[in-house]
Every structure is written in structure tokens, then in C-alpha cells.
Chains A and B, each alone.
Chain A
Amino acid sequence: MTSTILQDGLYVLLLMLLTKPLGTFMFRIFTGERTVLSPVLHPIERGFYRLAGVDETREMRWTTYTIAMLLFNLVGLLLTYAILRLQNHLPLNAQALPPVEERLAFNTAVSFATNTNWQSYYPEITMSNFSQMVGLAVHNFTSAATGIAIAIAVIRGFARRSANEIGNFWVDLTRCTLYLLLPICCAGALVLIARGVPQTLDAYQRVTGIAGTTNLLPLGPVASQEAIKMLGTNGGGFFNANSAHPFENPTPLTNFLEMLAIFAIPAGLTYTFGCMVGNTRQGWAIFAAMLGLFLVGVLVTTVAEQTGNPILGRAGADQGTLLYGQPAPGGNMEGKEQRFGIAASALFAVITTAASCGAVNAVHDSFTALGGMIPLANIGLGEVIFGGVGAGLYGFLVYAVLAIFIAGLMVGRTPEYIGKKIEPYDVKMVMLSLLVIPLAILGFTGLAAVTPEALASRGNPAAHGLTEMLYAFTSATGNNGSALAGLNANVPFYTIGLGLAMLIGRYLMIVPILALAGHLAAKKRIAESAGTFPTTGALWVGLLIGVIVIVGALTYFPAYTLGPVIEHFQMQAGATFALGS
């Protein structure tokens, strides 16, 4: 109990300490100011622009920005598809792996382009080192940089007045990768190597275990991929076991650092937002609302996991401890790494789903119904609790505009946020981007619930089976990429369905948001007065949390009722289900 609070408390403290310096650093990067890295990196940056024929001083309207972003992502997607399909002809294929099957290659290319990193495959036996490094790890950088670039463009929409442009996509993308992601990842990879994470291009090692059997031990350039996997909230593991694998996440220290890396940029961006709109309290308000939502999730999941399954308790699995005065079955240790235990697994699960990371250090499928519902809900809300790098902030800003529009009228003025009046066009874009997520999640899940092939993939019957399907489409649409596991997603229904869900969840949400940014940038900024709706302070933070929770609850509560909610009550009532029923 104490160690749980200490761990969670220390995490929050370090996150808060990290937010301002990282936020300021990003502010300097994206406003073109000099940073400590400029003397080394600026010539390189200029070299890239000259090579690509980019005029770094020329900014883009939102339409151009969007087209540049979409084209860049499309090219990246096609390139990855080609690499995966042709990996047997490409170098660094020590295991002589065959080409990736076409539907799976589509799913994987989409997955890494959209920053989802959903993996319908076992990397160790599917991907060559070339595919991992060039096809996937490069995408970890570009998809993260794309998200951050968009967030910066959206912030410019709020910060600028009467402007037509929202930045230059190529410049934002280059600066983000060069100044932010690469330096931190280099340092991070070295730390991971120091803690025992492999970094090699050698072939898999044949080892003889203590039982005397010979096993093939997969190895590879793990540390370099691990660093960006966390920092870029990508989550695609080098190994199938992801961060539960000792080569990806060897110690409690690396576990803690990896968790911190997931939230670092999303949290820092709230401060960058504050800097760019000229009032850091605006940024802290967003940070506070995100933190509030996050802590609720941590509390529910931790308590649910610590409480465990009462059926086990009744069956006599009593470890002699008491929890709330009742014999405790020792919490829910199913599917958790002994190295990390319940608290670190619960915290990791909430972080990785609150942010659209999707790396896992425990099996979410084995979480209790309520403990597993929080990760589901975190993603379902649209990945806005810190969220994916960039994606979290722009998704959150959509909710902020929604909250201000619903409640802002109550102060007797047409709603305005950061001095921007919210008009019909803005509300239209907000609603469009909000619609996309539930449409894809609930639509695809509904389809799965009546499709025999989809149903056959379930690892569990009844309510938990529904949760497995719901989680898969939630994770794909929210570009999270974590899997509840249990579900066999490498069947055509899911490789194609989840691929589409990822595309919809990423790009159909981004386009209206960039349109919103373009429209906001063109507006003048209204002066603040005592009559202005206050968007700093506790009342606003509470309102933001309220709107996000209520809108989220109203959208998903019916589906969740048939999934985790009823499962929870059935567990309380002692119901068990036979596989295949």
C-alpha cells in the first residue's frame, strides 16, 4: 500500500518537474529560437531543407499543411508496406524470414504510420531486423513527429490572430525529429543498454536452458527501438511480450523510466501550449485536468487489481492478508510480471492507455473487469489524458472547445477560448472529429458481434469476449495499439477491420482538427475581461473533467454495460463461464 503510493506519488512529482523544462524546450524548438543543440543541429537542419527544396520561412495554410502531412504519411505507409513484403530480398534478415503476408503487411504498415503500433503478429518470427529498423522504427519517429507537428499547428491556430498560415509541416517535422526525438532517444537508448537491454545486429542465439533443452533466443537492435517506442508513445514492441519481456524492460528502474518517457512529451506540450498562447496558466489548467482524469484511472485500476477476484477468495485462495477487513486473495497477479507486481503493472497499464502508447508490461486480458475497463475507457475517450505525443493535446483541445461551448454560454457571452470566439464552423469541426472515434469503435464492434469469423477469434465467451472485441477496435481507433490479448487478430476480419479503424481514428480526426486550427488562426483575438469565461483555475479544470467524463460515459456506457460492467457484477455474484459457451 505504502509502496504503491510512493511509486505513484514519485511518478506524478517527476512528471510535474519534467513538464516545464521540456515544454519550454519544445516552445523554443517550434518558435525557431536557438536551443543548446542549435550549433550542432542547425547546419544539418538547413542541409535537409536545401536537399528537399523546402523554404523554411514559407508557412502553409491549413489545407496545404494537411495535404503535406497526408502525403508524407501515405508515402511512409507505402514504403513500409513494400519493405515488409520484400524483406526476404532486403539485408539484415539473419533468420531468413519470408515476406510478411499482404493483409498483415497492410495492417502493420497502417499501424506504424498512424502511431498505433498494433501488432497482429509475433515480431520475433515475422520481422527481419531491416523491417524492424527501417520499416518500423523509422515510423516510430515520423508518426510521433507528425502528431507533435499537428499539435503545434493547432496551438498556432489558438495563438495567432488574423493569420492565414499555421506553420510549415516540413519544418515542424524536421525540427521535432532532429531537436527533440533523436537526442532524447539516443540518451535513452544508452541508459537502456546500461541496464541490460540488447543492441545488436547479430543473429538469434542458440542457448541451452537449465532444463537442458536448446532454445533460440531472439535478439536485435532492441534498445534503440525501445527508446522511441516509449518517448513517441508508439508502443510497438520488438518482442511479442512487449515491455513485459526482460530484454525490453529488464528492471523496475527501466520500468519507471519507460513510464516517465511515455508521458514526458504529452505533458510537456501542455506547457508549450501555455507558452505559445501567452499564458502558462492556460497550459497548467489542461495539465491539471489531464492529471485529475489520470489519477482517477490509477486509483480504480490499482484498487481493482489489488482487490482481485472474490471467487478465488471464496475458493480458499487466501494468502493470509486482509484487505478492507476481508480475506484477500492476494490481489490479481494473473498475467503480471513478478518483477513488477500489481502496483507497477496497474500504473503502467493506465499510463500506456491514457497516452496512446500501447506498450504493455502485463496482460490486460487478465485484469479484473473494472481494472481492465479503465484502460478501455482511457482509449475510448480519444486518448486525451496526456494522450499520444501531440495527438493527446489536440484531442484534448477539441474537448476544451466543446466544454467551453456547452457551459461557456452560461456566463452570458458567446463562448470563446483563448480569445477565439467559437462559431458554427468551429463547432462543426469539433463535432466531426468527436464523432469519428465512437463511430469506428462502436460500429466495428457491432459488426464483429454479428460476424462469425470475428466471434471465432475470441479467447473468452460472454461479456469478456465482447470486451476483447471492443478493446481491439478501441485500441485501433484510438491509435493506442495495446491488445487485450486473448483475441486472435491475425484473421482477415481483424487485419482489415482494425487497419481501417486505425486510418479512420487517425486521419479522419486530424483533418477537421486542422481545419479548426486554420479557422481559429484567421480570427482576431478577443480581449480578456472580468466578463470572460475563466479558462484557468479549479472551476475550469473541474468543468473539463466533467465534460470529458460525461460525454465519454454517455457514449460508451451502454456498450461497457454489456462488457466490463456486467462482467464485474457477475464476478461479484460468482458466475463462471465455460470456454466456447
Chain B
Amino acid sequence: MSWHSSAWGAVERQTVLAAPQGDTATLAPPAIPGVPAPELPPREQWPSSRDSVRKAPPRGLFDPAIVRPALAASVRKLDPRHLWRNPVMLIVEIGAVITTVSLFGNLTRGGSDPTWFVAWIAAWLCFTVLFANFAEAMAEGRGKAQAETLRRTRTETLAKVLVNGDARLIETRPSGALRPGDLVLVEAGDIIPSDGEVIAGVAYVSEAAITGESAPVLKEPGTDIASSVTGGTQIISDALTIRITAEPGKTFLDRMIALVEGAERQKTPNEIALNILLAGLTIIFLIVVVTLRPLAHYAGAAGSITILIALLVTLIPTTIGALLSAIGIAGMDRLVQRNVLAMSGRAVEAAGDVDVLLLDKTGTITFGSRMASEFIPAPGVPAAALTAAALRSSLADETPEGKSIVALAEQLGQHADRRVLDGAELIPFTAETRMSGIRLDGHATMKGAVDAIDQIASVPGGMEETVRAIAAAGATPLVVAEDGRVLGAISLKDTVKPGIRQRFEELRAMGIRTIMITGDNPLTARTIADEASVDDFVAEARPEDKIRIIRENQAQGRLVAMTGDGTNDAPALAQADVGVAMNTGTAAAKEAGNMVDLDSDPTKLIEIVAIGKQLLMTRGALTTFSIANDVAKYFAILPAMFLTAYAANGGSPAALGALNVMRLSTPYSAILSAIIFNAVIIVALIPLALRGVAYRPLGAAALLRRNLLIYGVGGLIAPFVGIKLIDLLLTAVGLT
């Protein structure tokens, strides 16, 4: 049992990390001997978090502020130099140009098809490209809006640089000119000019600009996690000396802006592979349509170039071709919405593939603080007497453990009256006594580890067993004594976060194993592991165990994800396929991971996996839908196109009428309906592409069955209905 001072400190720090938002009480600075804790400024002085990423006003899918620039961008993106990256859409654009040219031919010399038909085809081909561009612009627009907000944070500030490291010699230099190794001084109210490490001073820093978290965090030197500061954040109390660690233009904020803006967006491996598939299918259909011309000529049914282009465009996978890049951007955007920055799209895809989650017990699975769960009276002591004594001993105890004892006592019907503290003498915890308590009205009520209490009171035989039983159950026993008499024991348990068990069960259904890592002894570890329902645990783990476990799993062909914050997590974060660094973590950890969670919430790993899966599922669903769609388009266009086939040979002219299963009214309306459906479906699916397909934590077989039914079978049927409806509409308005 580690119930000594260093454990207190560790628990305290973890508490700060895992603090529920808005709970300012947990921000109480840790007692570091010799360092005066700064005063936390009143809440009014905290910088507003209005402009931060998270607090950006929630935007609807079709927010006019995004739609308007997107509309303009969709026209700009018609530039072939932009479109060549998307071969499917490039083909459509070329088709639109050829059709438009033949429209002018039609106007001047006349042609085989009526002019209105050619005009409509040309127009709808343009719309098809515009709709695709619009989808991409919409997805980009959301990121751009966020980047704009961030850019406002990255104002050029003048940094106070310590010349030759001498605090007395200060020169001012623009923040953009800071080099790694420079020492700068920041004082209350300053914006921290660049990323760095605190080397002197203790102060509160507001990171609202980046994380959106309004509560300030304490920064101090030499503490691994709390010593790293981020450029663009604001110091709101005292002063710090910082050693700059980032190259100019490569600060965390710079990278963040580039990421959300998509400026550095490179196609991910899966997206590239999918693009190759789409290009391949496009080439196949190009072969089909080009070779159809001589065949149709042979049959005496050589249609116009307009009709061939219409056939080509409806066959190539325009739906997924139009939405593919929007899906990728929107997937990254969904991560940003949850305050996670992925350093590469590859990491997001890898998140979908993860097989093993490596989770720290403390802060992820449990709250990380031991909470009172039970009072067990000593033989012959009334339960109420122990409860009252336990409450008294903890009234002034501001540690989470102390507060949890008060809370449990109150739950058991005791009233916590803090007014009694006025006349009381507090006995603080010290490393020598290893107990704490209160002297009230001449009675000393103490709590502490059993061997500590043993020094001041005789522990009855039954108590020893109770204490052992508590420890055996994986909890921490505290003994309460009053005036040299042991009243009973308090069982302190590390509490598993509510709902975590269910999430692990969901993960298991998805085929993802969870491994809990803890420094606890195997007994405690097993108790928590069982309670949280993790698949496996590693007790008494040392930092190097993480990287060992990751390597072992990877050697067995599994992909591993983990979170981490300390410098000693860095190698493991780098080794993991998905390494999520906490924003509160050290620069080394953030550098090593391929994602950063601005909220520093280790449970978010589960959401990240879900987002990765959703991104891949959306791509697969729309690809399947797009290809399945083609079947109906054949039935619309081919009978219309080959109406006159072999008529000259004496074949019956309406021979292919049986293929017109949709009973479309005329050949022209049939072809036009297919083209219009082809374009409109892109717009109809933009919300799906941006939001992602509905995600359920199911096993692969169940997911496949479900999605195959919706997007595969649905994709076969939907266009039959859609094309028929458009045909009815065209007939109603007389366009046939």
C-alpha cells in the first residue's frame, strides 16, 4: 500500500488532469515545499474562451456562412488544373465541354438530337461537376472557418528575450523571430510567444485559445507535464521564464491551423487506393463506351456523341468520385470538432483499424482518486459512531479522498457542519506521522494507514483482518482512531468511471481488445479490470512495459492505439499505430504521437476509433452505392439508345422495349432522367458524406450485413425509383 506523501502528490496531479470541467476546487495548487503557490486570479480575469476552437458557435450542416463561400468556390474549382486530381470529375467536365461544343454545332448546323435535349444534357453535366465541387468546398469551408478563428489567436507579439540568459538584460523581438533555445520572460497578461518549456517561475496559464477550456492551468518548471507551454496561450498570474522549443512557423498553433485548414492535406493511403479503383473503373467504362460506337454503328443505331457522353457519365462512379475528398475532409473535421488534432490522415484511417487499445488505468478507466466506499466499524463500535468520527477527521481535508469520506458520511445521514472548524486544531498529514486529523473540543480524531495508527492506538485483532480484507479486495484501508481508541476502517477504492464498462463491451463487439496498464499490484489491478471489464491487464507496469506490449501485439499482426502524456510515454506513443498525446503532455509526447487531444481526455481514444471507422465506412458505403446505381442507368439508357438497332436488317424496331423496365416515356426523357438523377444524387448525399454514415458498435459481420443491405441493395433499387420519378416530372412539364 502506498499511502505516503509522494503518492499524495501523484494523485493530486492526476486529479488536475482528469478534472471535470468547471470544478475550480480541484485547481488548488499542489503543495510543493519551498515554492509559494501563486494566487489563482478570480474567474472574471480569466480570458474569454469565446473565440476558441471548441466554443466556436456550433454550425449547422448548411450554415449560410459556409454555404455562400462554398458556392463561389465550386465555380472556381471548375479549373481543370484543380480537377485533374479527380479523374472521374475531369471526365465529366470534358464531357460537358464536348456537349456544349456540339450544342453550338446543333444551333448553327442542326444535329441528330433536338437542341433542347443537348442543352439540358450540357447543363446537367456542368451541374454534376459543380455539385461535386460544392461538396468538397462545403467540407473545406468548415475547416477554414476554424482556421480563421485560430489565426486570430496567432497574432504577432513582441517577446521579451533574455540576452545571454541574463534576466537583467532584456531585448524585445517579434515572436516570429524566436529560435529554439531562446529564453523569454512572460508576465501576467502576456501572450506566450511560442512553444516552450518553463525553466523558472510558477504561474497560471489560460489555454482557452487552443483548448477552449476556460479554467487556467498551473505551470511550473521541472515537472514534465506542467512545464510545457504553448504559443498563443496567455499567462494570467505571476511570471515565467520559458525556453523556446519550436522553430519559427512550426509551432503547435501553426501546425494546428494548417491541419484544420487542410492546407497540408495529403491523400491518405486508403483514399489513394480508392482513387485508383475509381480511375480503373472509369477507364473500363471509357473502353465500354468508346468501343460501343463502332458496335452501334454496325447495328445501324449509332447514337450522337451527346448520348454516348451521357452514357459514359452515368456509368463512371461520379457519386463517390464527387464525394470522396469531402468524406476525407469531413472525417478530419469531425476529429477537430472533438478537439483532437490528427497530424496525418493516415492516423485517422489507422484508428479505424485498431485491434488493441492500451489504456492507463488512472484517469482513463478510473477517476484516479481513491474514493471512500465503505465504513467498517471495529468490533463493539456502533456504525454511526465510526461514521461521525470519519467525518470529523476529514472535515478539513481538502484532498479528493478526504472529500469523498465527507460525501460518504453525508450519504449515510451525517451532517457536515464546517462551523466547528473555527475552534478546531488541524493536524496535517506529514511524512513522519503518515496520518492526519483534527483536535476538536479536546478530542483527537485521526485517520491513517494501519501501521501509523498502531503508533497511537491499540488496533484490536479483528481490525487487522478487516484491513487485510479491504486490501485483498484491491482497495486501500484507512483506520480511524479517536483518543487512542480504534473505531473502525474506511475502505478507499479507486472508482471506475461510470459507463466505461459498457464502452469496453462495445469495443469487444467491434473486435477491439482493451489492455489496462497500471502500477498497482496484481490484486488491485484485477479488481479494477474485472469491474471495468477490460480484456487484459498488466499490473506493476513500468514505463518500458508499454512499448514492449505494443511491440508484442504488433508482431502478432495487431494495430495498437494508446494515449500518453509524459516524456517517458514518448517512445511508446511513437511505436503505437495510433498514439494520442494529451495536450497537457510534454512537447516530447506531443511530438511522438500522431494525434493530440486538446481536452487531454484519455477516454477519447474510444471516440477516435469510432471516427476512424465511420470515415472508412462512409467511403465504402458510397462506393458500393455508386457502383450499384449503374445497373438502373443501363436499363434507362440502353433501350433508348438502341431503339433503331438492326431496323435496317428487318429486325423489329421495338425489340429492346422489354428492357425499358421503368417504362420511361421517351428515349430523350429516359437519358435525361438518368443524367439528372446522377447529378442530383450527389447533392442528396452531401449531408451523408459530411456527417458520415450511422455508426453502430457492432461486429464486422453484422455491420457488413446492415450496410450491404442499405447501400448495396438500396443502391440497386434507389435509382430505378429516382429515374422514374424524374421521368414523370419531365413528362409533366412537357420536356420529352
Contacts and interface: CB of A to CB of B under 8 A. Distances in A.
Given A466-B295, A550-B628, A553-B631, A566 B712 contact: no
Interface in A411-432: 411-414, 419, 421-424, 426-428, 430-432
B704 A558 contact: no
A90 interface: no
Contacts of B621: 409-410
Given A409-B617, A410-B620, A539 B708 contact: yes
A170 to B, nearest CB: 32
Given A410-B708, A566-B656, A466 B616 contact: no
A79 to B, nearest CB: 34
Contacts of A408: 620
Interface stretch (B171-179, B273-281, B360-368, B391-399): B273-281
B557 A570 contact: no
A525 B700 CA distance: 18
Given A412-B703, A530-B509, A554-B285, A570 B646 contact: yes
Contact of A578 (B299, B650, B659): B650
Given A530-B510, A577-B649, A410 B631 contact: no
A546 B557 contact: no
Interface in A373-422: 402, 405-414, 419, 421-422
23 contacts: A407-B712, A410-B703, A411-B704, A419-B557, A424-B269, A435-B280, A442-B288, A445-B291, A449-B297, A455-B298, A463-B645, A466-B295, A525-B557, A526-B558, A532-B700, A534-B700, A539-B701, A550-B628, A550-B630, A554-B284, A566-B656, A576-B650, A577-B651
B105 interface: no
B512 interface: yes
B627 A550 contact: yes
Nearest to B619: A409
A576 B650 CA distance: 8
Nearest to B298: A449
Given A462-B646, A581-B650, A414 B703 contact: no
A409 to B, nearest CB: 3
Most buried by B among A424, A434, A438: A424
Contacts of B298: 449-450, 455, 466, 562
Contacts of A529: 355, 511-513
B353 A555 contact: no
Interface string A505-545: 00000000000000000001111011111100101000100
A413 B613 contact: yes
B638 interface: yes
B533 to A, nearest CB: 15
A311 to B, nearest CB: 12
B352 interface: yes
- Of the listed residues B281, B295, B510, B616, the one surrounded by the most CB atoms of chain A closer than 10 A to its CB is B295
Contacts of B616: 409, 412-414
Nearest to B638: A561
B631 A554 contact: yes
A554 B634 contact: yes
A476 to B, nearest CB: 16
Interface residues of A, number: 74
A434 B284 contact: yes
A283 B705 CA distance: 21
Scoring A435, A554, A575 by chain B CB atoms within 10 A of each residue's CB, the highest score goes to A554
B349 interface: yes
B537 interface: no
A370 to B, nearest CB: 13
Contacts of A161: 557
B299 A466 contact: yes
B167 interface: no
Nearest to B299: A562
B277 A405 contact: yes
A325 B700 CA distance: 48
Contacts of A91: none
Contacts, number: 244
B604 to A, nearest CB: 18
B284 A575 contact: no
Interface string B257-271: 000000000000110
A447 B711 CA distance: 38
B273 A413 contact: no
B721 interface: no
A533 B704 contact: yes
Which of B511, B657, B705 has the largest number of chain A CB atoms within 10 A?
Answer: B511
Given A405-B277, A462-B649, 9 more contacts: A412-B612, A438-B287, A449-B295, A463-B651, A527-B556, A531-B510, A539-B701, A558-B311, A559-B292
A442 B707 CA distance: 34
- Closest 5 pairs (CB-CB, A-B): A409-B620, A531-B511, A431-B280, A412-B613, A530-B511
A443 interface: yes
B508 A449 contact: no
Given A409-B270, A414-B349, A581 B649 contact: yes
B634 A558 contact: yes
Interface in A309-343: none
B623 interface: yes
Given A406-B277, A409-B619, A463-B299, A557 B287 contact: no
A406 B645 contact: no
The dominant DSSP class at the B interface is helix
Nearest to B704: A411
A533 B700 contact: yes
B614 interface: yes
B557 A407 contact: no
A465 to B, nearest CB: 8
A555 B282 CA distance: 11
A446 B294 contact: yes
Contacts of A442: 287-288, 291-292
Interface string B339-368: 000000000010011010000000000000
Contacts of A526: 355, 557-559
Interface in B667-716: 695, 699-701, 703-705, 707-708, 711-712
B658 interface: yes
A557 B291 CA distance: 12
A122 interface: no
B295 A569 contact: no
Nearest to A578: B650
A444 B657 CA distance: 29
Given A407-B708, A424-B269, A435 B295 contact: no
A566 B657 CA distance: 10
A530 B699 contact: yes
B655 interface: yes
Contact of A431 (B279, B556, B557, B704): B279
B295 A531 contact: no
Contact of A426 (B273, B294, B557, B652): B273
A565 interface: yes
A573 B645 CA distance: 14
A406 B288 contact: no
A405 B278 CA distance: 11
Interface string B408-433: 00000000000000000000000000
A410 B645 contact: no
A461 interface: yes
B600 interface: no
A419, A462, A466, A546: which has the most chain B beta carbons within 10 Å? A462
B273 A405 contact: yes
A193 interface: no
Given A407-B704, A407-B712, A569-B656, A412 B558 contact: no
A422 B658 CA distance: 41
Contacts of B645: 463, 562, 566
Nearest to B268: A414
A533 B705 CA distance: 11
Interface string B619-641: 11101100110110010001000
Contacts of B705: 539
A375 B8 CA distance: 79
B334 to A, nearest CB: 14
